[in-house]
Amino acid sequence: MNQNWRVETASGVYAVKRLHDATPDAVRRQHELFPALAVHGLPVPTPSRLAEVDGHWYAAGPWLPGEHCGDLSVPAARNLGDLIGHLHHRLSEALPAVPPELHDEPPLVPFAFAELTRLGSAAAAGSTDFDAFAVAEISRRLRLLADLAHLPPRPGPVRPAGWTHGDLNHLNLLFTGDRCTGVLDWDRLGVRPYGLEVLRTAVILFAVGRGDDSTGVDLDRLAAFVAGYRGRIDISAAELRDAAHRRWWDYATDTYFLRRHYDRRDTSCDHLFRRSSAVLRWWTAHRADLDAALTSRR
């Protein structure tokens, strides 16, 4: 969703990013954090220069080595889990102290029903392939919520919590072989339950296939990733299962991609709606398998 360029000059190769989801002041605060992480061996960007050009802000810094995260091996998945645990630990030292738990209010079924129904009407009025897919998927989700309305996560405190990156996906991680050499795009740095970042990251990175062709989540790599993370961060099996339940419920009730498409006329995330829909169908059928993988310490 951000515009980025690779710029080759006589003085070197640079990454240039047009700011979209963060203000210049927020980006400056990110850059102040990076040296405190880099000193501990974490692969964060070198602080960039900020400049305003024609009313738009840009950040420019040295180009990091590596390729965008692909299909990681099991050892690489474990190493990445260890790295994210290390990152969470160092963030807790470098940033202001925060409470060890956060209160969570899971989305309510009636609200999700109302939003899905509204967006379903918008989709039914369209004539594109996406509209047809959205109509069918919304119908599936309404049936799912009707069947599982008794399973929402319980409102209340969720722990452990702390500072997290917020958006660890394929495009924000660079690898050289099995080694992570870059953690990019810190625009969503914030305080969250650690389990949320673990589950969100694992389900995104270890999805098998893409979009409508997704066949689920690779549980061996997910298990290795979580085991690596638990070597750094104290998070119990019960806390991981609770995080998985809350993340699955988010998938079932979320309308973000649909609202982007129909309310904002922004089609940039349409492919993510297809992907999340495929993951939801698989996850709903394999919840027990995923929970077992989370706590297997493979």
The reported pTM is 0.93
On average, the pLDDT of the chain sits at 94
pLDDT at 175 over 90: yes
Rounded mean pLDDT of 268-286?
Answer: 94
Percent over 90 (pLDDT), the chain:
91
pLDDT at 297 over 80: no
Using pLDDT thresholds of 50, 70 and 90, give the confidence band for residue 21.
Answer: confident
pLDDT of residue 212: 54
Q: What is the DSSP string of 195-261?
A: HHHHHHHHHHHTEES-GGG--EE-HHHHHHHHHHHHTTS---HHHHHHHHHHHHHHHHH--HHHHHH
Using CA atoms, how far residue 267 sits from 77, 135, 201, 218, 257, in Å, is 31, 16, 23, 28, 9
- Check if the beta carbon of residue 176 is closer than 8 Å to that of residue 69: no
Please state at what angle helix 129-147 crosses helix 109-124, rounded to 10 degrees: 160
pLDDT tens digits, 141-160? 999 999 999 999 999 999 99
SS3 content of the chain, % helix, strand, coil (to 5): 50, 20, 30
Of 2 and 111, the one with more pLDDT: 111
pLDDT of residue 298: 60
Taking Cα atoms as reference points, which of 67, 61, 5, 6 lies closest to residue 34?
61
The secondary element (H helix, E strand) that includes residue 183 is strand 179-183
Using pLDDT thresholds of 50, 70 and 90, give the confidence band for residue 47.
Answer: confident
Using pLDDT thresholds of 50, 70 and 90, give the confidence band for residue 69.
Answer: confident
pLDDT of residue 70: 80
Go through the domains of the chain in sequence order and give each one's CATH number: 3-62 (3.30.200), 67-105+149-294 (3.90.1200)
pLDDT at 213 over 80: no
pLDDT at 211 over 80: no
pLDDT tens digits, 84-131? 999 999 999 999 999 999 999 999 999 999 999 999 999 999 999 999
pLDDT of residue 37: 98
